Structure 1
Amino acid sequence: MLDLTGPFGIHHLPYGVFTYGGVAPRVGVRVGDAVLDLGGAEAAGLIDAGGAFGQPTLNAHLAQGRAAWTAARDRITTLLRDESATLDGLVYPLTDVTLLLPFAVGDYVDFYSSEHHAANVGALFRPGSPPLLPNWKHLPIGYHGRAGTVVVSGTDVVRPCGQRKAPTADVPTYGPTGRLDIEAEVGFVVGAGTALGDRVGVADFADHVFGVVLVNDWSARDIQAWEYQPLGPFLGKSFATSVSAWVTPLAALEAAWVPAPAQDPAVLPYLSGGGHRGLDLALEVEWNGTVVSRPPFAPMYWTPAQQLAHLTVNGASVRPGDLYASGTVSGPERDQTGSFLELTWGGAEPVTVGDAKRTFLEDGDTVTVRATAPGRDGAVLALGEVTATVLPSR
């Protein structure tokens, strides 16, 4: 019996890609603790998605656009509610399937959109100076990451090596990072693409973004601190970015939109309009089984729609499967921060994890990021978690 009422019930229906018993990877939706095989359902004539659900990634469906996304979701919902529908051989226990990266990532952009996070990092790295740089409230700051190292939840992360320079040292040294960190973020998966030279306005966000994933943008803080001057993140970030195995469609989050924080000074016209909405997502960061932080997403200063508008304002195109992330999600309190850099105030104030005092990640540590959101008719949705364990350097 499928659970249609829980956090992965009929109001949610997140999409993923899975294999089972040696069958080729195909698209499915999560229903409770089971997976409905959409590729098999399409082959059986129960759903028509133009063959997109039999593909090894979501990209073909992403490219079909908003009308096709709506039609497919409506048909899946109808099928699940139809007590006479035969789903024999199309439903698998979640514990029996292997989940894969749900979409092929073409480009990856990471933003820096939490005022609380930016202020914390500014205070840590530039003591005695204003915590926010002059441009921060005028445009969504971001950088282009490495799409090829975006991995699905459950993939182990190898401790990276690189150059790092201690504050008291005259020259850098090479070796494993000693300040491995996380960044709890929310990612947005692009569906319908654009042509080179075109722009996406804030009001057109839902026509181009298919859904949402949780993100852990792993960060080597000592490597990052040495290399980021003057250009920004590079090897301190590019070794791994973990994402959920399940993509929550925007259609499932209609009840989660809330007014975004007021922006002062006023933004330029291309960043205004569209209702200025944020998402009411409640994140949770678990470190070796201990919940150490609960970052709120609703107070993020720059909205997902503004991020996409800024990403494309220079005419840069987007493609199905492109991913952009919010940047670290942090609230005003220490136990609402989305990085251990902030949680431990640069390592100066250890936190209790289990029965030990900790600052940055050690080999063998496991970090899990979860989130919930309000759904329709009072339902609570649980976004697909993102988890990984740290392995020793090679």
Structure 2
Amino acid sequence: MTTTSWVDGADSGPYGIDHLPYGVFSTAKDPAMRIGVRIGDQILDLRGLASGTFFLPWIRPAFHEHALNGFMAMGPPAWRLVRHQLTELLSDRRHQDQSATLLTPVAKARMHLPFTVADYVDFYASEEHATNLGRLFRPDSEPLLPNWKHLPVGYHGRAGTVVPSGTPIVRPRGQRKSKDAPVEFGPSARLDIEAEVGFVVGVGTELGTPVNPDDFTEHVFGAVLVNDWSARDIQAWEYVPLGPFLGKSFATSIGHWVTPLDALAGAKAAAPVQDPVPLDYLLESERYGYDLQMSVRWNGTEVSRPPFGGMYWTPAQMLAHMTVNGASLRTGDLYASGTVSGPGPAQRGSFLELTWGGKDPVDLGEGEARTFLEDGDTVIISATARGAEGGEIGLGDVRGTILPAVNLVPLPA
């Protein structure tokens, strides 16, 4: 039997009772940041609930914080208990009159970064994306480098520039070099996106303690959509031999809503068979990913539908590889999948791939075409998945608009 909610409109949309994502919001009337759960087009104020006797005493303090970190650190028993309580609260009409006073329309809320980001790691887990980039950058060589099918390749990003959806993105400046030209400094002319899925760590570990992939759900709280903005011209000049740096570190956008892993139970799907078989520390008792159908809209036009379900390296394997050397986890660590791309041209999750290095502009309608992002362009990444009860849930979208580069103040003579 499908569970329904007494909140008007919740059952027919992507934020029904089987979703219940967490976020942080404030209002004009009450500017204090506080934790909420989304149900339909409303936000249930968990600080208000925690001010009474609804939650157990040891859980209440977490919902008086201004970010999700305290609650996430409590681990799966607390996550499941609160989810069960919220499901009962929002489905049983006996709670309607009292709980309705704690609802705020999403349209009247200001959303904030949902958790304090401890560390940020970005992977390169899509075989199709890695193959496309190999063909673009190394046309006379094998597209996949020898290590790619042996380990989840990744880089350590900049946690301080992870920003919430809707934050304007200032065009980065940096060093660039085209093939036959001298090195120059200026605004990126090849500004790009990367449509990704991120995973948020709740339970940390001690230094020197690797995490088995089968323990993924004991540490990871939930998922968010990610846009890892990329300045391809800056990246191309700087990345040899140590990899991405200033071409990536200027901004990474994430969605306002963290979808709990339990809400994605209905989206679990068998992950691709791996050949060669990975080393033992990457082997999973149950090998699965999440069948998320993503969408990329460029100035309102859908230009791509990347399928997350086909990712070669799973979120559990990424977590295991990230810690196998003894690196510790902290509450609020964010790690992302890298660009999600599928086998078809319309399933590519970056504009570098969609335009094949800028050679094939994307038609945005009304005679407008783009290769890379121009000032004023807006990109929205969204995703849907099968809910635990068979319906459809929608992960909170991530959007950003490009602002012109900031001119540097001239140095004194």
TM-score bracket relative to the smaller structure? over 0.9
CA distance, structure 2, for counterparts of residue 225 and residue 88 of structure 1: 53
Partner of 2:389, secondary structure, is helix
Partner of 2:135, secondary structure, is helix
Per the TM alignment, residue 103 of structure 1 is displaced from its structure 2 partner at its CA by 0.3
CA displacement, residues 343-366 of structure 1 (integer Å, 9 cap, x when unaligned): 000000111012212100000000
CA distance, structure 1, for counterparts of residue 253 and residue 100 of structure 2: 33
CA distance, structure 2, for counterparts of residue 360 and residue 234 of structure 1: 20
* Corresponding residue of 2:394: 382
* Corresponding residue of 1:230: 241
CA distance, structure 2, for counterparts of residue 223 and residue 347 of structure 1: 15
Residue identity opposite 1:250 in structure 2: L
- What's the TM-score, normalizing by structure 2? 0.94
CA displacement, residues 174-210 of structure 1 (integer Å, 9 cap, x when unaligned): 0000000000000000000000000110100000000
Structure 2 residue corresponding to 1:132, chosen from 144, 156, 163: 144
1:314 aligns to 2:325 (yes or no): yes
Alignment check: 8 A CA contact 1:289 1:354 kept: no
* Corresponding residue of 1:90: 102
Partner of 1:237, secondary structure, is helix
Partner of 1:353, secondary structure, is strand
CA distance, structure 2, for counterparts of residue 87 and residue 351 of structure 1: 48
* Corresponding residue of 1:146: 158
Alignment map for 1:1-394 (pairs within 5 Å) = 1-5=7-11, 6-20=13-27, 21-48=29-56, 49-85=59-95, 86-169=98-181, 171-355=182-366, 356-394=368-406
Per the TM alignment, residue 50 of structure 1 is displaced from its structure 2 partner at its CA by 3.1
Alignment check: 8 A CA contact 1:224 1:235 kept: yes
Per the TM alignment, residue 236 of structure 1 is displaced from its structure 2 partner at its CA by 0.1
Q: How many residues align?
A: 393
Residue identity opposite 1:35 in structure 2: I
Residue identity opposite 1:25 in structure 2: M
CA distance, structure 1, for counterparts of residue 243 and residue 31 of structure 2: 43
Which stretch shows the higher mean deviation, 316-325 or 273-282? 273-282
Partner of 2:296, secondary structure, is strand
Residue identity opposite 1:144 in structure 2: H
Alignment check: 8 A CA contact 1:2 1:31 kept: no
CA distance, structure 2, for counterparts of residue 93 and residue 266 of structure 1: 49
CA distance, structure 2, for counterparts of residue 251 and residue 209 of structure 1: 11
Per the TM alignment, residue 274 of structure 1 is displaced from its structure 2 partner at its CA by 3.0
Alignment check: 8 A CA contact 2:124 2:153 kept: yes
List runs of 5+ in structure 1 lacking aligned partners: none
Per the TM alignment, residue 63 of structure 1 is displaced from its structure 2 partner at its CA by 0.5
CA distance, structure 2, for counterparts of residue 373 and residue 72 of structure 1: 22
CA distance, structure 2, for counterparts of residue 308 and residue 18 of structure 1: 29
CA distance, structure 2, for counterparts of residue 24 and residue 40 of structure 1: 12
List runs of 5+ in structure 2 lacking aligned partners: 1-6, 407-413
Residue identity opposite 2:9 in structure 1: D
Per the TM alignment, residue 89 of structure 1 is displaced from its structure 2 partner at its CA by 2.6
Alignment check: 8 A CA contact 2:51 2:60 kept: no
CA distance, structure 2, for counterparts of residue 360 and residue 244 of structure 1: 22
Per the TM alignment, residue 127 of structure 1 is displaced from its structure 2 partner at its CA by 1.1
CA distance, structure 1, for counterparts of residue 164 and residue 8 of structure 2: 25
* Corresponding residue of 2:409: none
- CA RMSD of the aligned region, Å? 0.9
Percent identical residues? 61
Partner of 1:67, secondary structure, is helix
Per the TM alignment, residue 82 of structure 1 is displaced from its structure 2 partner at its CA by 2.0
CA displacement, residues 128-184 of structure 1 (integer Å, 9 cap, x when unaligned): 100000000000000000000000001000000000001111x21000000000000
Partner of 1:77, secondary structure, is helix
Alignment check: 8 A CA contact 1:281 1:298 kept: yes
Alignment check: 8 A CA contact 1:271 1:309 kept: yes
Alignment check: 8 A CA contact 1:202 1:305 kept: yes
Alignment check: 8 A CA contact 1:288 1:354 kept: no
CA distance, structure 1, for counterparts of residue 120 and residue 65 of structure 2: 22
CA distance, structure 2, for counterparts of residue 299 and residue 13 of structure 1: 26
